[in-house]
């Protein structure tokens, strides 16, 4: 009985790859917009000649992890259940493999990811070599009745150097009937030797219809409805093909934050510093981490859009108007440099736990100087 509280605490620990308030990718019922990728994996599993390592690439939040878990369930399911899925990876929700993968209790599945530290109450910055060393015992055991074993790395971009080298050893000498599924939004950051041992399956951004269907599926589980009209159109435009971004914008007050960012940029080179200080105060507290991340995600995305629209003179009407004033040909290089500097400084502030309000004020000061 003395161990029960600890077990309950472990079960309640947050997951780095789950958007708060919505199902984890392994619990997502349907995948939208990646039918070709599903057919490719389904055919490989059905053939029994599955390549031992797959690199699932594409922008964040488009369904790569959902695809990985669907492939894991399909590979771990009973043969008669796999025979029924044809060109998709659909396996009945009541199947043993489906239930066990959703519960993270299947003996044939190992997921390598950043694990929540209950003592520090935070996630580490990278996947450690100790996490990857779990492969030794996992791969040292038989898969049981001649079935597959599946290793999901989510995301491979977060492996530190030692962890990447440890994973590489297993990829170089893969055990029989073992599948590695590496999820990556930035495959260029991976060791070339890891990439060369994987078959790459590139997934693209989702279209508006696929995002709407995927978002509705997630919102239904939260007993919430899709927005409509101008709000829906703005969310689709800001999501850049990512259902995760769509949901985080919708649930995290992203539309209101975006309006504040757009108003701030529209007023440049003038800045209402008193108003900015108030906004920075709401974004820099310990409890405002999600909104702080969302602020810089939206700000950097908007600066990038202005540079792109300034260079091409094509895009949303409001962005074209704003770019016509701020992203003139003479300023394009300077704005691009601001984007690079802010992205780097923001990463440093998060990694080193530096003052966040100072970063916000310094960022706007740079934009003011660039556009004056």
Q: Which of 75, 54, 53, 56 is nearest to 65 (CA)?
A: 56
pLDDT at 7: 37
DSSP per-residue letters across 11-46: HH---TTS-TTS--GGG-----S-HHHHHHHHHHHH
pLDDT at 106: 95
For the chain, which ranges sit under pLDDT 50? 1-11
In total, the chain counts a number of residues equal to 372
What confidence score (pLDDT) does residue 2 get? Answer: 43
What's the predicted TM-score (pTM) here? 0.87
For residue 56, report the phi and psi dihedrals to the nearest 5 degrees.
Answer: -95, 110
Nearest Cα neighbor of 189 from 161, 153, 167, 162 is 161
Q: Give the Cα separation of 158 and 175 in Å (integer).
A: 24
pLDDT, residue 3, reads 44
pLDDT digits (tens, 9 = 90+) for 1-21: 444 444 334 345 889 889 888
Structural domain boundaries of the chain?
4-202, 252-371
Q: Are 242 and 61 in contact (CB under 8 A)?
A: yes
Q: How far is CA 277 from the centre of its chain?
A: 30
Count CB atoms within 10 A of the CB of residue 94: 7
* Per-residue model confidence as pLDDT tens digits over 11-65: 458 898 898 889 999 999 999 999 999 999 999 988 888 899 999 999 999 999 9
CA distance 365 to 269: 9
- Domain 4-202 CATH assignment equals 1.10.10.1200: no
């Amino acid at each position: 009985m003395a161990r029960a509280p600890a077990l309950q605490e472990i079960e309640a620990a947050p997951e780095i790859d789950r958007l708060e308030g919505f199902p984890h990718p392994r619990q997502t019922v349907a995948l939208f917009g990646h039918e070709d990728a599903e057919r490719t994996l389904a055919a490989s599993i059905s053939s029994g000649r599955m390549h031992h390592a797959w690199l699932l690439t594409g922008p964040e939040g488009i369904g790569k992890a959902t695809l990985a878990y669907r492939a894991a369930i399909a590979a771990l399911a009973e043969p008669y259940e796999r025979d029924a899925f044809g060109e998709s990876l659909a396996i009945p929700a009541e199947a043993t493999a489906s239930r066990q993968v959703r519960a993270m209790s299947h003996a044939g599945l190992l997921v390598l990811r950043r694990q929540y530290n209950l003592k520090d109450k935070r996630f580490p910055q990278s996947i450690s070599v100790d996490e990857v060393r779990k492969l030794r015992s996992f791969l040292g055991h038989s898969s049981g009745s001649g079935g597959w074993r599946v290793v999901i790395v989510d995301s491979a971009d977060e492996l530190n150097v030692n962890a990447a080298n440890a994973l590489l050893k297993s990829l170089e000498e893969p055990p029989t009937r073992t599948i590695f599924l590496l999820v990556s939004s930035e495959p260029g950051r991976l060791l070339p030797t890891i990439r060369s041992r994987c078959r790459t399956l590139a997934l693209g951004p989702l279209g508006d219809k696929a995002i709407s269907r995927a978002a509705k599926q997630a919102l239904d589980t939260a007993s919430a409805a899709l927005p409509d009209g101008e709000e829906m159109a703005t969310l689709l435009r800001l999501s850049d093909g990512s259902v995760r971004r769509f949901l985080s914008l919708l649930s995290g007050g992203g539309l209101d934050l975006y309006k504040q960012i757009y108003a701030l940029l529209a007023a440049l080179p003038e800045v209402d510093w008193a108003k900015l200080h108030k906004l920075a105060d709401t974004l820099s507290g310990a409890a405002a981490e999600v909104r702080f991340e969302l602020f810089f995600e939206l700000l950097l995305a908007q600066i990038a859009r202005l540079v792109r629209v300034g260079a091409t003179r094509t895009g949303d009407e409001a962005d074209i108007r704003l770019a016509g004033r701020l992203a003139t040909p003479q300023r394009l290089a300077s704005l691009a440099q601001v984007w690079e500097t802010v992205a780097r400084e923001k990463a440093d502030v998060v990694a080193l736990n530096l003052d966040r309000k100072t970063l916000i004020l310094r960022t706007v000061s740079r934009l003011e100087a660039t556009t004056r």
